[in-house]
Amino acid sequence: MIGGPAVLDVRPAVDFERLHRVGSANIPLEELAGRVHELPPPHTPILVFDECSTRARWARSRLRVRGRDEVESAWGAQWLADGSVERGPGGTRLWQPHDLLVEAIAHARIRWESCSGRRALDIACGTGRNAVYLAECGFETDAWDVLPDALERCRNLAGRFGTTVHTRLVDVETDPAIEPAAFDLICVFCYLHRPLIPFIQRGVRPGGLLVYETFVEPQRARFGKPRRAAFELRRGELRSHFEDWPIVAYREHLSAPRRFVASLIARKPDRADPAKPGISRPSAALAQPLGRARGETDGRNPSR
């Protein structure tokens, strides 16, 4: 919420729709534990509201237990009366898609003008924030994961925001088949299975985009996760897998206080590209070395 904390109204939906503060989002207290993926990044200030002080304080304590220190609470009808209010279901979104994906979509809109009617695939989609964002941008979106409960949350999130995401329960490590040249954009966050990379490469259409971010050295040495070396990229490795693709953005950096990652946006060559697209280099501003934190990354890491 611009100029103040994000407002989380934890009343039952029927009470929220009857009257609520403009700009607030509704996650009923009874559903909060199962919908924490709909909250903003961890360091975002949150104001929790319920007409009942006990419920408001309980919601605040639950969020603080989860490591959210900047959470306060408000309650009572007077709090509603003191601000601008509206009726209906509301449309405020507290959660955010991954910054790298937002960057890629900005590039895509410049190149394609519109994303409507194009196809996107989110591999290891987790609870689906990135997939839902892609659908909101106009993509016909597929979301794959190995966990049924994650896919259920993804579908529920899409439904709450009036979009459709086509979910698929699949273990890409045993069933890696991605239809060749089927997707205008493929994204992967916090997941690494090296034998899958050639399938990802073939799955992107000529001129399409790959958006990839996952752990890179020295993540394990510094913080002990992921547990297996197979889930951590070597320095420069991610870029080397796409050396013949024009690079839109590439960084190896500290994206959060305990999170070293390699971040890549690359475009699959098409007929309009020069004979040796691998000579394309990102600008100095985009080719950032390991550095200070930029904020929270999104997505699910199956190696945790």
80-93 pLDDT, tens digit each: 999 999 999 988 99
- Sorted by where each begins, the domain ranges of the chain are 6-86, 99-279
What pTM, to 2 d.p., does this model score? 0.86
pLDDT at 140: 98
| CATH homologous superfamily, domain 99-279 | Vaccinia Virus protein VP39 (3.40.50.150)
Kindly tell me if the per-residue pLDDT of 280 is higher than 50.
no
As a whole number, the mean pLDDT across the chain is 89
Q: Cα–Cα distance between 48 and 59 in angstroms, integer?
A: 7
The answer on pLDDT for 275 being more than 80 is no
pLDDT above 50 for 18: yes
Maximum CA extent, the chain:
68
25-26 β-sheet, strand order: 25-26, 6-9, 46-50, 71-75
Split at pLDDT 50, 70, 90, the class of 257 is confident
The CATH superfamily label for domain 6-86 reads: Rhodanese-like domain (3.40.250.10)
